[in-house]
Amino acid sequence: MKKILAICCFLTGVVHAQSTMNPKVSAELRAAFTTGAQQDVLVVVKGRANITPAAQMMTKTAKTQFVFQALRAHAEQSQRDIRAFLQQKQAKANSFYVVNAISVKNCSAELANELAQFDAVEAIAADPNVAFIQPVQSFDTPAERSATEWGINKINAPSVWDLGYTGQGVVVGGADTGYDWEHPAIRPHYNGLNAQTGAVDHNYNWHDAIKEQNPLNSDPNNPCGFDIDQPCDDQSHGTHTMGTMTGDDGLGNQIGVAPGATWVGCRNMERGWGQPSTYIECFEWFLAPTDVNGENPKPERAPDVINNSWYCAVSEGCTDLAVNELMRQAVINLKAAGVVVIVSNGNFGGQGCNSTYGPPAYFAESFSIGSTQESDTISNFSSRGPVTIDGSNRVKPDVSAPGQFVRSCTPNNGYAYFSGTSMAGPHAVGMVALILSANPALKGQVAVVEDIIKNTCVKLDGLADCSDNNGLDYPNNTYGYGRIDALAAVQMAIATSDFPICTQLPGLFVFPNPTADVIRFNPMGLKGRLHVIVYNNHQQIMREEQIAENQILTIPAQQWPAGVYTWEAKLDDGQVFKGRFVKI
């Protein structure tokens, strides 16, 4: 009888503790604390830094430095007292600035209640362990290896390479299960490798957000270890995605869309298990990469575009809108800093419409990618819109890309075919690298890059009525704006480089760009005679002409091969004008 009384008293005490907890503690956490177990939590702090001035800054470097400084200064000020308290309590905490929040490991109900007493605390939410749903995969043999993969051909990447743009000068980032950086298909493209000397430096090129084994992973033997100082892939998913972005071993395995780009990486999952805090930590590192000790951040080292072939599934705990909002703010802040954020749209298409609901795919600010087959039809698994989780009914995905039966590299010099929107996203990342290598002035201009991608897609009709006129709307909730086309996007990017934002005289304006038949040179307001030379991609002279003052020069180009052409015009007084146009 005494034992029964003791148990009843204990349970009564737990229920009483739950009922008296501060309402800032989420209902999910209050329920979890009834078990008496400690929980991983995210402390959401009030207030956000003002980063709107970044939109008026012209260069990516200026944007990233400003956003980094503004976010970090605001976090340090608003989190100061909470950090001091957690340090006093010897809590295992990690403060963020990319979002105004602090993660706390193994937090007790008592500590959560104490934290909630701070006026600066907006909410305390769960930091759940999330199991990533893996793509379908099958492994190949060397005899099955092809040269350029079907997805790369489908989006016309080789035609862009022929123009001389392979992603050179662009840095792509990946957040995933890690990367086998020594795989011959991606090793030559690692940003930490000096191609001339062979020296390797992992500082500012790699970060590990995984500090310990995920408690829900039953296997204690992680092949990479934890908090490691050089890239390693503990599962294979990350290596596969990076191969699609940049891979080429120089021996016939052309698996990457942008083999001229270099890559950096962050591990945000432990063999497929992640948490919102590990996802956020990688977002923060991309904003301002650090050395391998996690110190001395350098926003000027931020990659130009990042791939996120993961999602925080609602079925696994990402139901707290306060936590989802943190991840949304991370996406917003990275974009404000000039980083293009590419996100896989999810693999819940078997559920039909309204299946885009896992963060970060459903955010308006995420550029979400659906998956297509080689036939240009949507993959059955590719999640559809509209988005209903937040009541917005917005169209998703934004665009689609090859994602079914995609061959790329896997750890230990392997290759395999994977299927999933995880495979589609890297195609889009590689295409962004091609765009930026063709027009480096677009670095940091995230909205312009996204518009170029959307406006050059191959239009495709949906297969179901997902609140979009039986899929006939454009964009629609099956394909978004359609399947991406790298050649068309690069042509538009090049044309953008010479397009006058406003009419500013005097100047030499060249139009139409792109052109199919003629190219016109209009020396608006210029005084004197112009000498014009047009070159092809091999710097051979295609046409040389004189333009009299106040005259328009029209050059027929119907018979010229498609490609990128450069021109140079020189006034009698020595003033020189240069530019490019695309012949389609």
3-state percent breakdown (helix, strand, coil) of the chain, nearest 5: 30, 25, 45
More confident residue, 168 or 55: 168
Please spell the DSSP secondary structure of 324-392, one letter per residue: HHHHHHHHHHHHHTT-EEEEE--S-GGG-TT---STTTT-TTSEEEEEE-TTSPBPTTS------TTS-
Burial class (CB in 10 A: 0-12, 13-18, 19+), 69: middle
State residue 315's pLDDT score: 61
State residue 142's pLDDT score: 39
Q: Which amino acid is at 562?
A: A
CATH of 131-272+287-496, one of 3.40.50.200, 1.10.3720.10, 3.30.200.20, 3.30.930.10: 3.40.50.200
Q: What are the backbone angles phi and psi of residue 354, rounded to the nearest 5°? A: 60, 30
Predicted confidence (pLDDT) at residue 141 exceeds the cutoff of 60: no
The mean of the pLDDT values for the chain is 89
Rounded CA-CA distance 146/102 in Å is 47
CATH of region 505-583? 2.60.40.3080
Banded pLDDT at 537 (limits 50, 70, 90) = confident
Banded pLDDT at 138 (limits 50, 70, 90) = low
Please spell the DSSP secondary structure of 158-203, one letter per residue: HHHHHTT-SSTT-EEEEEESB--TTSTTTGGGBTTB-TTT--B--T
Banded pLDDT at 133 (limits 50, 70, 90) = low
More confident residue, 562 or 258: 258
Name residue, tokens 């990447």: 157
In angstroms, the first-to-last Cα distance of the chain is 89
- Least confident segment among 190-204, 233-247, 497-511, 515-529: 497-511
Predicted confidence (pLDDT) at residue 477 exceeds the cutoff of 80: yes
Q: Residue 534: CB partners within 8 Å, gap ≥ 6?
A: 519, 541, 542, 543, 544, 555, 565, 566, 567
Rounded CA-CA distance 584/581 in Å is 10
State residue 210's pLDDT score: 96
Q: Which two tokens stand for residue 310?
A: 């993961």
Alpha-carbon torsion angle 85, 86, 90, 93, nearest 10? -160
Q: ∠ CA 264-266-272 to the nearest 5 degrees?
A: 135
Identity of the highest mean pLDDT range in 112-116, 449-453, 460-464: 112-116
Predicted confidence (pLDDT) at residue 387 exceeds the cutoff of 90: yes
State residue 499's pLDDT score: 41
Rounded CA-CA distance 271/415 in Å is 19
Cα of 525 vs its chain's centroid, Å:
43
Banded pLDDT at 564 (limits 50, 70, 90) = confident
> Per DSSP, what are the bridge partners of residue 547?
530
In angstroms, the Cα distances linking 306 to 171, 229, 266, 447 are 9, 20, 10, 15
pTM for this predicted structure: 0.85
Given a contact cutoff of 8 angstroms between Cβ atoms, the answer to whether 109 and 97 are in contact is no
DSSP state of 513: S
Delimit the domains of the chain by residue range: 2-127, 131-272+287-496, 505-583
